[in-house]
Structure 1
Amino acid sequence: MAKNQDQIKESVNTQQRYGVFLDAWKRKEGYKGSMSFGKKANIEYLLRDYYDNGVRKQKVLGQRSPETEKVLADYLAGREDAEQRLKAAQANVARQAGINRALGLGRVPAIGAKIIRAVDKAGLLGKGVKVIGTNAMFAYEAITEVYFPQSVTSTEDIDMMFDARAKIRFASADETTAPTIIGLLQQVDRSFIRAPNRFSANNNDGYIVDLVRPQINPPWKDLPSSISNNSDDLEAIQIGGLSWHENAPSFEAVAIDTRGEPVRIVAPDPRAFAVHKHWLSKQPDRRPDKRARDRCQAALVAAMVAQHMPHLPFDPDQMKSFPRKVVEDAAHLFAASADPADQFSF
């Protein structure tokens, strides 16, 4: 389905306003904690208090002087300005969400979008964690003039790929406790619990979050399975073929959820998505219904790349993270002339 001109215009406006919001939010985060003068051994010092992974820390910035008084004044003024700019940006995003709802721009399931935003605010999105699977398709369509058929994007789960090689700095809304993925999910919905398999979490509505990672090679290589290293947290399950995604370029876009609110998604390059899905569709140990969906999604994403993403030409030399035969087997998908908005009907 093609977007109309109003939808295209407001999609661009959403991306711009959300970009301003994210910049304002990051600036405000820089003022977390506090700054004040305090006495140590009867001498006044400028102190900066903050939390690091749930541990309260304090940094001494110098004895009281005209210079440190200016540092404090600048800090307080900057924090006030950051708060006001964030409030203005939030108001703009809220107004934009109303416009988006009226135009029917919402695509990403609300619960999935909330989870992705929480991961983003924790400093993990694109820095050790990517959105893979069906939810990645919302990022691809966000920058084009067409939508994928809803029948191939409907989903009741979300897959998060953990890159254990990344140096992760995990932030939390609650500065006083060490953050965990399950704690992050429970901030979104209190009913989330870890499943017995340890790599999944589900809520009362049956929405599932899976934490996955590539198979370790060699198998004895020591890499963490948990983002937080907390024994009660989710532990990523190893999945074959994901190392190709891990080493492929990332793709970032701002999509819109069903409430009209923007969400930044960091996913694998759409060319890598299509190649990987095509490979999955040929795996004999995969369920037939999943293979059929994989095959359809691969064809649709490849057609979208060919027709609507001229800046991403399909070049096997740019897909070096995949085995060459896997890339060659999928090459015909990118030569398709049909538009992804019309290629399939269900």
Structure 2
Amino acid sequence: MNYLPLSDNAARQVIDSMTIFTEFQRVKVQAQSYAGSMYWKQEGGHEYLVKTRPRRRTQERLGARSEQTECIFSEYTARKQAIESRLKLLHEALIEAQRMNKALKTGRTPNLVVTLLGVLEDAGLTKHFTVVGTHALYAYETAAGVRLVPGALATQDVDLLWDARKRVQFMTDLAELDASMLSILQRADPTFERKEGQYETAINARGFEVDFLRRQPVDDDPHPFCFSADEGDLWPVQAVRASVLTSAPRFEHLVISATGRMVVMRTIAPASFVEFKRWLAEKAPQREETKRRRDRLQADIVQELLDQKLLFPR
């Protein structure tokens, strides 16, 4: 048996946590549109309604004081207060859910991976990256309500596939942050630095690696490509058959760390995972036999979850 079902209590807690986390994320997005403030500004003998946008560090004048702008101000203030109040209550519920997750041992996704994905989410960069490789199994086992055998999961690196098809939007999003990709990773762990001789890899003081992959150049894909103008930043490396992963259907699911913290992992659909792992096990050139055996095991496990209808192809 390559997996065991979660206990009933743990399974119920996962469902409850998902509900709270999903609602918290929904309201958090709403709150972002009300970030900043709205106030009256005296200028030249007139009052104007001004809206500040902290992320872009801009101010927008909405018009002179009038019945219309007073209505805008009142509606904005009331809505902002209501959303912030709801978000505060949901945050309290989220903290309690995390405490129960830890107590009932509902999750075991590495803490650093959960932190990394949370940092990418907060930076607005999640849509540009897909978790591929072994760590996808954490999303699959959570969705299936099972625990996979430890031998299928052990790894000291996480692979993030960068979507070169959206490079223009990516560059715009990163420029707005005024940051490099390496500095983004350092928000999760300050000890991350670029690995010597492997510009696609960031490694921390405990030897955990984050590898950035990309498809082989297609059409006008830039090559080579650095994530930012910072010469010390990371350069995603071309990976064999990464184009297959780039175009594969996506699978998103909540994952939970051993400390109870939660985040949504974006990976490839289970059927695509099985297909790719079979290729690695049987056809990938110059792949170590120990890795081929683990590839086969991982493919077999996910296929079994699909056959048992605990997971679905897409």
Calculate the TM-score normalised by the size of structure 2.
Answer: 0.89
SS of residue matched to 2:234: coil
Cα distance in 2, alignment partners of residues 311 and 300 from structure 1: 13
Q: Deviations over 1:173-225 (max 9, x none)?
A: xx8x513322221111111122232211111111111111111125x643783
Residues 62/252 of structure 1: CA separation in 2 closer, same or farther (3 Å cut): same
Pair 1:207-2:205 in alignment: no
SS in 1 for 2:145: coil
2: CA distance between counterparts of 1:138 and 1:178?
32
In 1, Cα distance between equivalents of 2:33 and 2:131: 26
CA offsets 1:238-275 (integer angstroms, 9 cap, x no match): 10111111111100111111101221111001111111
Secondary structure in 1 matching 2:147: coil
After superposition, the Cα gap between the structure-2 partners of 1:292 and 1:236, relative to the gap in structure 1 and judged at 3 Å, is same
Report SS of the residue matched to 2:218. coil
Give the stretch that moved more between structures: 146-155 or 256-265: 146-155
Which of 2, 7, 21 is matched with 1:4 structurally?
7
Q: Which deviations, in whole Å up to 9, do the C-alpha atoms of 1:148-177 show, x marking residues without a partner?
A: 1122112222111110112336379xx8x5
| Aligned amino acid, residue 84 of structure 1 | S
Consecutive unaligned residues of structure 2, counting only runs of 5 or more, are none
1:134 partnered with 2:134: yes
Count of residues in correspondence between the two structures? 306
Normalised to the residue count of structure 1, the TM-score between the two structures is 0.81
Distance verdict in 2 for CA 1:137–1:224, change over 3 Å: same
Distance 2:90 2:180 in 1: 28
The equivalent residue for 1:79 is: 80
Equivalences for 1:1-346 in 2 at 5 Å?
1-51=4-54, 56-125=57-126, 127-166=127-166, 167-168=169-170, 170=173, 178-196=178-196, 197-218=198-219, 221-222=221-222, 225-228=225-228, 230-282=230-282, 283-309=284-310, 311-312=312-313
Residues in 2 aligned to 1:88 and 1:221: alpha-carbon distance in whole angstroms: 45
Contact 2:164–2:221 (Cα < 8 Å) also in 1: no
Shift of 1:51: 4.6
Q: Per-residue CA shift, 1:124-158, capped at 9, x if unaligned?
A: 22x22111111111111111132211221122221
CA contact (8 A) 1:305 1:312 kept: yes
Q: Please state how far the C-alpha of 1:42 moved relative to its aligned partner.
A: 4.5
Task: Give the alignment's Cα RMSD to 1 decimal.
Answer: 2.3
Name which of structure 1's ranges 245-254 and 182-191 shifts more when overlaid on structure 2. 182-191
Give the SS at the match of 2:135. Answer: helix
1:249–1:259 distance in 2 versus 1, CA, 3 Å:
same
Q: Compared with structure 1, are the counterparts of its residues 10 and 26 closer, same or farther at alpha carbon in structure 2 (3 Å cutoff)? A: same
Tell me the CA shift for residue 228 of structure 1: 4.5
Question: Is contact 1:226–1:235 with CA below 8 Å preserved after alignment?
Answer: yes
Give 1:311 deviation, angstroms: 4.2
- Partner amino acid for 1:246? T
2-side partners of 1:213 and 1:40: how far apart? 52
Residue type of the partner of 1:192?
F
- Paired with 1:297 and 1:76, the residues of 2 have a C-alpha distance of 52
Q: Are the equivalent residues in 2 in contact too, given 1:113–1:263 (CA < 8 A)?
A: yes
- 3-state secondary structure, aligned to 2:191: coil
For the residue of structure 2 that corresponds to 1:31, the secondary structure is coil
Letter in 1 for 2:218: N
* C-alpha distance in 1 between matches for 2:243 and 2:301: 23
Q: How far apart in 2 are the matches of 1:99 and 1:208?
A: 30
Secondary structure of the residue aligned to 2:48 is strand
Report sequence identity in percent. Answer: 29
Amino acid in structure 1 at the alignment position of 2:32? E
